[in-house]
Structure 1
Amino acid sequence: MIKMTMLLKRHPKLTREEFVKHHIEKHGPLFRSLPEAKVHVIRYIQTHPIHEKTSVVPVSDFDGTAELWFDSLSGLEAVLTSEQYKNEVYPDELTFLDHANTLVTIGDQVDIMGDFHEQ
């Protein structure tokens, strides 16, 4: 299993509220509709910053994250190179994401605490 983590920047033409609404209500369901995603994606979550601030930890100005767990690197590649992704999902990304300033990492996840951590 591998995990892709994306630190998202919104398209400059969108407000934060428009970005969040589009990400949740349009992009999420569009990605979920991919046949390849139904086969290879184990989990997909979106996170959007809260309005409250804290002085305990500095927070960057990203507009959200997307975290996707795939069954394998080849599964990730199958999803992201599928015709439906290239023709529908990726063009949708261009309407609400600032791709040039969105960061992506791919790696192995190591559970330290939580449901999957053995005590």
Structure 2
Amino acid sequence: MSATAIASSHGVLTQNLLKRRAGSTIEEFRKHYIERHGKLAIPWFLANGVTYYAQTHRPLHWATDAARQKYESAIYLSDWDAVGEVAFAPGYGSFSNAQAYYQEVILPDERRFLLDEAFKHMKVVDAESVAGEVVEFIVDGKAVVEYEEWRGVFGGYEKR
């Protein structure tokens, strides 16, 4: 699904550039981000009205000449390891639900594999600015990958 189609039906889509923790390889980062972090984020994203969540992995490149002209002088894509893409359902637009899960599960995991917590180091660019290999996790408000383990963990936080 294109970002334009997502934005028209689900609100604004942004791309968030992310860096891996020093000392980890691109392969280690990619494996952790896809196989662990992407899945553990799904229940939290769904609880916060996220209708689309995907990761874009290296090699990253500017998707359009307009994006290249807008960002290239300030952002060197070779310095970044992946892009997180998120779109919210109408009426949502922040991550205010399930804060205990975010604080106790998501943030500690980000500190393990990212340069720092995502919100502390990411760079936000317009939708469809960066291209690479896309891995989708949530499409049309439904998970498209198995995340049963994390649904169970999240369920424990919902009961608090």
Structure 1 Cα separation of the partners of residues 111 and 18 of structure 2:
12
Secondary structure of the residue that 2:20 maps to in structure 1? coil
More strand, by proportion: 2
- C-alpha displacement at 1:73, in angstroms? 7.3
Identity %: 31
Q: Given residue 38 of structure 1, which amino acid in structure 2 is its aligned partner?
A: L
> Is 2:105 the counterpart of 1:97?
no
Structure 1 Cα separation of the partners of residues 91 and 113 of structure 2:
26
Secondary structure of the residue that 1:42 maps to in structure 2? strand
Aligned residues: 100
Give matches, 1:103-114, under 5 Å.
103-104=123-124
Which one of 86, 89, 107 corresponds to residue 103 of structure 2?
Answer: 86
Secondary structure of the residue that 2:15 maps to in structure 1? strand
Which one of 46, 61, 64 corresponds to residue 38 of structure 1?
Answer: 46
- C-alpha displacement at 1:4, in angstroms? 3.5
- C-alpha displacement at 1:75, in angstroms? 4.0
> Is 2:56 the counterpart of 1:47?
yes
CA contact (8 A) 1:8 1:97 kept: yes
Q: Which runs of 5+ in 2 are unaligned?
A: 1-10, 61-67, 129-160
Q: Residues 11, 83 of structure 1: CA spacing in aligned structure 2 closer, same or farther, 3 A cutoff?
A: same
- C-alpha displacement at 1:74, in angstroms? 4.4
Alignment partner, residue 63 of structure 2? none
**Runs (4+) of structure 1 moved beyond 6 Å?**
none
Structure 2 Cα separation of the partners of residues 8 and 73 of structure 1:
26
Secondary structure of the residue that 2:77 maps to in structure 1? coil
Alignment partner, residue 115 of structure 1? none
Which one of 8, 15, 38 corresponds to residue 25 of structure 2?
Answer: 15
Q: Given residue 8 of structure 1, which amino acid in structure 2 is its aligned partner?
A: L
CA RMSD of superposed structures (Å): 2.8
